[in-house]
Amino acid sequence: MEQGPFDSDDEELEWWDKLPLAPAVTSLLLRQQSRRRWKPESLAHMFSRLPRLQEVHYEPWREWDNTTQKSTDKDYQILLNSLRRSNHSLKRLVIFENFNQQYPANMRRRELLEGEDVGTHALRRPIRDIGQMIALTSLSFEHLAASYIADASHFFEARLDWAWPP
């Protein structure tokens, strides 16, 4: 783990799992302004403690380099799968990933000055699996908004026979 009070990812996840259930919480807002980079796997454990969660607004930061982004994208799939399997009361999901191209551009300049290339790119390449997992997860939702984290074509090509509630 890079930051935070825990010595390892496992220790953090165990901490989340020890928290009592919080049935009073029905809505959760995780804004970019918090400056906290929530790990998708940690969020999955947090959400499992909120049995009546109906609405989530999540604004994740985009990763700076492709290697880290690939790892985070896999974790997003874990998060979405856990929402689908365990948060049956969830009806509204909003995911708004940071799309500011200035951050990666600044990072890229720093890489070039330091003679290091970690694969920072201004534009994020959407991953088909994420778009399709968002589609699968959203089948029971009343409302879904996913901005800059997935390509709409990946979402809609997931399965032609799927139907969403009216």
| Residue 2, pLDDT above cutoff 60 | no
Are 116 and 93 a contacting pair, CB within 8 Å? no
Q: Can you tell me which residue has the tokens 């796997």?
A: 41
Question: CA–CA separation, 141 vs 125, rounded Å?
Answer: 26
Q: What does the pLDDT look like over 79-107, one tens digit per residue?
A: 999 998 888 899 999 999 877 667 667 76
For the chain, the C-alpha Rg in angstroms (whole number) is 17
Among 163, 145, 162, smallest CA distance to 57 is for 145
Among 154, 148, 58, smallest CA distance to 103 is for 148
Question: In this predicted structure, what is the pLDDT of residue 32?
Answer: 80
Q: What does the pLDDT look like over 109-164, one tens digit per residue?
A: 766 667 666 566 667 778 899 999 999 999 889 999 998 888 888 888 877 787 77
User: What predicted TM-score, i.e. pTM, was given to this entire model?
Assistant: 0.80
Question: In this predicted structure, what is the pLDDT of residue 1?
Answer: 40
Among 139, 101, 99, smallest CA distance to 122 is for 101
Question: CA–CA separation, 158 vs 129, rounded Å?
Answer: 9
Question: CA–CA separation, 100 vs 102, rounded Å?
Answer: 5
Question: CA–CA separation, 121 vs 68, rounded Å?
Answer: 12
